[in-house]
Amino acid sequence: GAGVSQSPSNKVTEKGKDVELRCDPISGHTALYWYRQSLGQGLEFLIYFQGNSAPDKSGLPSDRFSAERTGGSVSTLTIQRTQQEDSAVYLCASSLVFLGSRMAYEQYFGPGTRLTVT
């Protein structure tokens, strides 16, 4: 079946512009995560959506970052007034969760959006 998809795959933007990154999770997956990864670095957790619960925003680095998840499916990560340090690969992942099974918590990643702020 279809995996997690993200768009765009690459985005080059000028410093100070706003960008929107999109994630389409696997159909039926209730949990959705956003991470970012700078070159050669580990995954940095940004935000986590779980069903209808309030999202865990504890990883958002500043108030320029926000995310929403509409209808429990598609998610958009918005970065306002982009800075050069925002350049990274932004990864989205989803997991099933509510099956009462270990297997349900495994995350599946999209290919990422490579953001370059010039």
Closest to another protein by CB, 18 or 68: 68
Binds another protein (CB under 8 A): choice among 95, 96, 115, 117: 95
Q: Return d(Cα 91, Cα 83) in angstroms, integer.
A: 18
Distance CA 24, CA 7 (A): 9
Interaction of residue 42 with another protein, rule CB under 8 A: yes
CB of 103 to another protein, least distance (A): 7
Contact region for another protein (CB under 8 A) — 9-17, 60-68, 74-82, 95-103?
A: 95-103
CA angle 105, 110, 112 (to 5 degrees): 135
Residue type, 22: R
Under rule CB under 8 A, residue 28 binds another protein: no
Interface with another protein includes 113 (CB under 8 A)? no
Candidate residues 50, 73, 76, 80; the one interacting with another protein per rule CB under 8 A? 50
Instruction: Give the distance, in angstroms, between the CA of residue 62 and the centroid of all CA atoms in the same chain.
Output: 15
Provide the Cα torsion 42, 69, 18, 88; round to 10°: 10
111 binds another protein (CB under 8 A): yes
